[in-house]
Structure 1
Amino acid sequence: MQAFTTLTSIVTPLELSNVDTDQIIPKQFLKRIERTGYEDYLFFDWRQDPGFVLNNPAYGGSHILVAGKNFGCGSSREHAAWALEQYGFRCVIAPSFADIFYSNAGKNGILAITLSEAEVERLLLQAKTADGYRLTVSLESNTIEDESGFATSFQIDPFRRDCLLQGLDDIGLTLRHAALLSAYEQKHDTENWLLARA
């Protein structure tokens, strides 16, 4: 998992609340056995509309998505986080998130930030109206700022913050103990071998 420290990016505004995981990654794509290639199916149904925000070249290469409240509601598919991350979004900002999506996002290298509705509305308006509107998100200082005077801080669980800063997913966390695990396995195998010979 890629570490998250500081990110400066154009902002993509998604002016919708209650964006559920079936819209983020429709159910027909869950049958794929691969864990990669989901970026092509992110918001698949909505992207059929030429006017949908992801089809606007002004937001090409954006790594920050700002959306309405209750983002990621619905079923608990981890594919939603995979699709967002593989498309290139490293940070999602909203007034609230569904709990399971929030957890899945963090485990897949996406920083999900909760701000007030007023702050999110301001960011959505700026992203819609100011050409090339950019934010700088720092996980090192827990701050967000733009070039026109907006600045705020955000809260995040210390454990999730540490994992993101170090780029550690669940496997990475386990592998930090690889030496201890190997020693245990070796001792266990030796004890079983001795018992078998007794």
Structure 2
Amino acid sequence: MRPFTILAAAACPLPLANVDTDQLIPARFMKRPRSEGYGQFLLHDLRFAEDGAVRPDSPIDRPERRCAQILVARRNFGSGSSREAAVYALVDAGFRCVLAPSFGDIFASNAVNNGLLPAQLEEAEAERLLGWLDQGGQEITVDLRECAVRAGGHRFAFRIDPVWRTKLLNGWNDIDLTLSHAAAIGAFAAADAARRPWAGLPPAEGGQG
């Protein structure tokens, strides 16, 4: 994954609470292979009318928001089922960060494992950002090193699990995180083998242990 340190990018307001994973990507689109990309299905039923026309009130389809990499939403974002495809849809649509007061637990974990930052703000701060964007604000800077958000004259701190922060800063998945402790794991294994030689596996027949 690409490391996430500082992102200065256009932002899109989504002034809705309880946006669940079925809204992020309806289940009927999940039979398609990921190689085709899921970005076109992001928030499909909120964005498109039955005839396929873009709804005039769709925030992410406004010309000034189409290149947005940051989404600002209200509480309980990504609730509902555990479908990882909800994160795929956001990532494939170009988003690298979601700012919201709270997230569905499984969604947030899936987000981190796909390089998407779920940054948790206070509810009043999220509302101020939404208001700033509604009044014409464009670019937000998200600094994961400082856990800070800057937008116009606003500056807020955000929260994220410290292990998730480490993974995103380094572009690590769970295996990479484990390998980062390889020296300590090796030292423990060697010390344990010396302390409890009887606990080790016997040498393989015809080979070396």
1:69 aligns with 2:81: no
1:154 aligns with 2:158: yes
What is the percent sequence identity of the aligned residues?
Answer: 46
Alignment of 1:140-151 (within 5 A): 140-147=145-152, 149-151=153-155
Change (3 A) 1:156 1:36: farther
Query: 2:39 maps to which residue?
Result: 39
Alignment of 1:1-198 (within 5 A): 1-34=1-34, 37-48=37-48, 49-51=54-56, 52-131=58-137, 133-147=138-152, 149-173=153-177, 191-192=203-204, 194=206
TM-score of the superposed pair, with normalisation by structure 2: 0.81
Change (3 A) 1:36 1:143: farther
Structure 1: gaps spanning 5 or more residues: 182-190
CA contact (8 A) 1:68 1:94 kept: yes
TM-score of the superposed pair, with normalisation by structure 1: 0.85
Offset at 1:33? Answer: 3.7
C-alpha separation in 2, matches of 1:90 and 1:169:
16
C-alpha separation in 2, matches of 1:75 and 1:63:
24
C-alpha separation in 1, matches of 2:17 and 2:125:
15
C-alpha separation in 1, matches of 2:11 and 2:151:
10
Structure 2: gaps spanning 5 or more residues: 49-53, 187-202
Offset at 1:68? Answer: 1.0
CA contact (8 A) 2:129 2:151 kept: no
Q: Please list every run of at least 4 consecutive aligned residues from structure 1 whose deviation after the TM superposition is greater than 4 angstroms.
A: 174-181
Amino acid at match of 1:154: F
Offset at 1:176? Answer: 5.4
Amino acid at match of 1:19: V
Query: 1:186 maps to which residue?
Result: none
C-alpha separation in 2, matches of 1:146 and 1:7:
12
C-alpha separation in 2, matches of 1:60 and 1:127:
14
C-alpha separation in 2, matches of 1:69 and 1:130:
22
Offset at 1:36? Answer: 5.4
Highest Rg: 1 or 2?
2
C-alpha separation in 2, matches of 1:36 and 1:169:
23
C-alpha separation in 1, matches of 2:8 and 2:144:
12
Amino acid at match of 1:10: A
C-alpha separation in 2, matches of 1:72 and 1:129:
26
Aligned residues: 187
Alignment partner of 1:31: what SS? coil
Greater Cα offset, 44-53 or 1-10: 44-53
Provide the aligned C-alpha RMSD in A.
2.5
What do the CA deviations read for 1:81-106 (whole angstroms, capped 9, x no partner)? 11111111111011111111111111
| Structure number with higher helix proportion | 1
C-alpha separation in 1, matches of 2:88 and 2:97:
13
Change (3 A) 1:46 1:28: same
